[in-house]
Amino acid sequence: MNTIALGIDRARYETKVYFRQGDTIFFTFLFPVVMLTIFSVAFSSSGNFGTNPDGTGGVDAAAFYLPGMIAAGLLLSGVQNLAVDIAVERGDGTLKRLGGTPLPVISYFIGKMGQVFATSLAQVVLLLLVSHFAFGVALPTEASKWGTFVWIYLLGITTSAVLGIALSRIPRTGKSATAVIIPIVLVLQFISGVYLSFTQLPTWLQNVASIFPLKWMAQGMRSVFLPDNFSSAEQGGSWNLGGVAIVLGIWLIVGLVAARFTFRWIRKDA
Amino acid sequence: MTETQPHVSVRDLRKTYGDFTALDGVSFDIDPGETFALLGPNGAGKSTTIEILEGYRDRTSGTATVLGIDPQHGGLSWKARLGIVLQSSGESGNVTVQEQLSHFAKLYPHSRDVDEVIAAVGLTEKAKTRIKNLSGGQRRRVDVALGVIGRPELLFLDEPTTGFDPEARREFWELIRSLKREGTTILLTTHYLDEAAQLSDRAGVIAGGTLIDIGTIDEIGDADARTPLVRWNDQNGAHEERTHEPAGLVARLYAAAGAEPTGLEVVRPSLEDVYLDLVGAYDNSLKDNS
């Protein structure tokens, strides 16, 4: 088999294994749905968000939190999933075994990326279905909105997956992987407008968050799922999709370079 | 390369970690089709040697070639000719035996038949069981199956039968003999000396990072260590005598006592006895020098 075909076979294998791990399913796959449900129910009686002075233009809690949860899902399915997964595989001998076979590293990466695409796509569809059918969120009907969704989704999930591969080098052992990675991911979610409304954060914290990709993924998803009048509440008063593309693009390249040059099957002579 | 070149060739192999010398000038060859056992106590350098040859560790100095290639620069086509059974690992095992072997079979250009390999390691009834639900010995058989699925020319077996019950070990030996018949070259490390004696053509004994002896199974140890041992009891207690003429000794004992000596044994030292003598002598020489 060639490198691509092996990669596709790896993706099938990886996806199968993913859905057999109870902890991954809860903390990565279902987490955004659980959080959306909690926020939607908790704030269901507190009225609409982003209402104009004349009482129009607001959305309810479920609609307000949906874009942030989709963005959080991208971060979890990519960064958290792969950084922990690969660190654990390095710790438990999986990578050592693979490193002794003629499996190309690129095929291994294709397998991981394929697993991330498959699982995150299922995650997004689940989020949209739950928000629509359980909480009555009106989804966009314009094709242009879905076009925006597709490119932000693809750029976001690719960047996130590549950064996950790069970050998998940081935990020293497989056992410490979740303890090292989850705080990073959790802090980013709090400062990037997933759980807390971004513009309510102090300006300096907004500036810090703007360095990282999650803020831009969330902003991009808000441009798809929130009414256009919400754009005035963003930093700079617009959706700034150009900024979304640039920042995610830079992180994609940083992640690719880091993944390419730091990945090893084993820590030689550690 | 031609067939007459050794499959593994190691010269003056050294490996140091800071001040610690793990390997201090090890040299040996393994010919095509040969089974070579690397024996020695824990920490003697067996695994370091085998991991250098597998390409997992870099040597400090010396030379090594494996299938004609320096393992530090072995590419994918080189790895496709190897089979590696590492010491036990703790993989999560969320796939079935069959899924795992089918997947690994795809990595190699000339893989064996998955069901045949599963049958050869005696796991046909567990083929659809997830690996994490297998016993330790069964998981080890999966490791062995993964090591041979790619039809390797050279197979590394690092303590392959740890955790096997006696019956499983004998089945494993049959599997290894069938691989030998197909011409597979095998490098084996084991703590079971009977296993080494059963399977290997030659053995090297490694202690303290040096090769203290190497030869065919019948040659290992000095000639004295091979001398048969006669043990018996009389009114003065237990006796033990090494002799090349044990039958003569037994006949004299019988004649002298005029009766059957109690506790009579004639023992031809096994590889294990010879090995223990060798390693014991090495340890004593260290004490004498210090």
ipTM: 0.88
Tell me the nearest-neighbour CA distance from A20 into chain B, angstroms: 7
Sign of the CA dihedral B198, B199, B201, B203? negative
Q: How far apart are CA B117 and CA B127, in angstroms?
A: 11
Summarised one tens digit per residue, pLDDT across range B211-256 is: 999 998 888 877 777 788 889 888 888 888 888 888 888 888 888 8
What are the φ/ψ torsions at residue A250 (nearest 5 degrees)? Answer: -65, -45
The domains of chain B are located at 8-216, 223-289
- The Cα angle at residue B157 between residues B151 and B163, in degrees rounded to 5: 120
Is the backbone of residue A93 left (phi > 0), alpha (psi -120 to 50) or beta?
left
pLDDT exceeds 60 at position B2: no
Domain that holds residue A122: 3-46+55-262
pLDDT exceeds 90 at position A3: yes
pLDDT exceeds 70 at position B204: yes
Summarised one tens digit per residue, pLDDT across range B193-202 is: 889 999 999 9
pLDDT exceeds 70 at position A203: yes
- CA dihedral defined by B7, B10, B11, B16, rounded to 10 degrees? 160
Give the pLDDT mean for B94-116: 95
* Chain A residues closer than 8 Å to B108 by CB: 101-102
Summarised one tens digit per residue, pLDDT across range B33-61 is: 999 999 998 888 998 999 999 999 999 99
**Domain B8-216 superfamily per CATH:** P-loop containing nucleotide triphosphate hydrolases (3.40.50.300)
Closest CB to B107: pick one of A21, A88, A102: A102
Residue A24 included in any domain: yes
How many Cα atoms occupy the beta-carbon half-sphere of B80 within 13 Å? Answer: 15
- Chain B contact residues (CB < 8 Å to A): 17, 54-58, 76-77, 79-80, 82, 84, 86, 89-92, 94-95, 99, 103-104, 106-109, 130, 146, 150
Share of chain A above pLDDT 70, in %: 98
Q: What confidence score (pLDDT) does residue A270 get?
A: 42
* Chain A residues closer than 8 Å to B99 by CB: 13, 16
Q: Tell me which DSSP letter residue B45 carries.
A: S
Sign of the CA dihedral A76, A78, A80, A85? positive
* Chain A residues closer than 8 Å to B79 by CB: 100-102
Q: What confidence score (pLDDT) does residue B290 get?
A: 60
Q: What confidence score (pLDDT) does residue B93 get?
A: 87
* Region of poorest pLDDT, from A69-83, A148-162, B3-17: B3-17
Q: What confidence score (pLDDT) does residue B3 get?
A: 52
Q: How far apart are CA B186 and CA B157, in angstroms?
A: 7
Residue A268 included in any domain: no
Q: How far apart are CA A83 and CA A165, in angstroms?
A: 6
Residue A183 included in any domain: yes
* Region of poorest pLDDT, from A7-16, A19-28, B62-71: A19-28
**Residue B13, helix vs strand vs coil:** strand
> What tokens were used for B85?
């059974």
pLDDT exceeds 60 at position A269: no
User: What is the average pLDDT value for chain B, to the nearest integer?
Assistant: 90
Domain count, chain A: 1
Q: How far apart are CA B97 and CA B25, in angstroms?
A: 40
